[in-house]
Structure 1
Amino acid sequence: MLEHIPLLKGALIEAFYPLYDQYNEDQIYACALVFNEYLRMDDLAVSTIRSLFAEHEDPLQYLSEQDKWQVTKWRYRAHSSAENRFAQFKLILADYFKKTHAFGHPMLEHNHGNAQNNLDLVIAAFQQAKQAFVHSYGLDTHNIVFFIHIPHQPQVAIHSAQCLNSGSPLLDDFIQHHSPKAAPQNLGSKQKLSQADKDLLVDLAQMTEVEPYDYLHIAQQAYLLTLESAFIDSNPYIQKLIQTIAAMDCGIKDGCALEKNEILERIEQFYHASHNLTLSKPNPFSDIP
Structure 2
Amino acid sequence: MFDLQFSQSEYLADLKTALLHEFDALYQKHHDQGIYAFALVLDGLLVAQYTTVSTKKSLLTEVENKYQYLSEEDMWNVEKWQYRAQTNQGVSSFSRSMSEYFQHTRLSFTSVHSKDRFNQNALNFYVQGMEDVKDIILDKYDLLADKITFMVHLPNDPQVAIRSLERLNPPSSNLFEAIANLKSTVITQGKTRFKLSQVDKDILTDLGQSLEIEPYDDMQIAQQAYLLSLEPYFLETSPYIQNLINDIAAMEEGYLVMTKQEIQNRMKQFNF
In the superposition, the TM-score normalised over structure 2's length comes to: 0.62
CA contact (8 A) 1:13 1:133 kept: yes
Query: Higher RCO, 1 or 2 (CA under 8 Å, sep at least 6)?
Result: 2
> What residue is the counterpart of 1:151 in the other structure?
155
> What residue is the counterpart of 1:60 in the other structure?
67
Give the Cα separation in 2 of the matches to 1:134 and 1:108. Answer: 35
Aligned residues: 193
What's the offset of the Cα at 1:134? 2.3
Structure holding more helix per residue: 2
What's the offset of the Cα at 1:141? 4.7
Give the Cα separation in 1 of the matches to 2:118 and 2:67. Answer: 44
| Root mean square deviation of aligned Cα | 3.4
Give the Cα separation in 1 of the matches to 2:55 and 2:114. Answer: 28
> What residue is the counterpart of 1:91 in the other structure?
96
Mapping of 1:113-152 within 5 angstroms? 117-135=121-139, 137-142=140-145, 143-152=147-156
> What residue is the counterpart of 2:16 in the other structure?
9
Give the Cα separation in 2 of the matches to 1:33 and 1:22. Answer: 18
> What residue is the counterpart of 2:217 in the other structure?
none
In the superposition, the TM-score normalised over structure 1's length comes to: 0.58
CA contact (8 A) 2:40 2:153 kept: yes
1:50–1:118 CA distance, 2 compared to 1 (3 A): same
Describe the superposition over 1:221-242 as per-residue Cα deviations: whole angstroms up to 9, x where unpaired: xxxxxx753779xxxxxxxxxx
Match of 1:181 among 160, 183, 187: 187
What's the offset of the Cα at 1:61? 1.1
> What residue is the counterpart of 2:222 in the other structure?
none
Counterpart amino acid of 1:140? L
What's the offset of the Cα at 1:106? 11
What's the offset of the Cα at 1:17? 1.0
* Unaligned residue ranges in structure 2 (runs of 5+): 192-200, 205-238, 245-267
The secondary structure found in structure 2 opposite 1:117 is: helix
Describe the superposition over 1:181-204 as per-residue Cα deviations: whole angstroms up to 9, x where unpaired: 2867xxxxxxxxx9x8xxxxxxxx
* Unaligned residue ranges in structure 1 (runs of 5+): 185-193, 197-226, 233-269, 275-289
CA contact (8 A) 1:12 1:86 kept: yes
The secondary structure found in structure 2 opposite 1:4 is: helix
What's the offset of the Cα at 1:138? 3.4
Match of 2:56 among 36, 49, 69: 49
Give the Cα separation in 2 of the matches to 1:146 and 1:9. Answer: 14
> What residue is the counterpart of 2:164 in the other structure?
160
Describe the superposition over 1:54-111 as per-residue Cα deviations: whole angstroms up to 9, x where unpaired: 0111222111111111112111010122xx1423311122122023221679997324
Identity percentage over the alignment? 31
1:94–1:48 CA distance, 2 compared to 1 (3 A): same
1:108–1:162 CA distance, 2 compared to 1 (3 A): farther
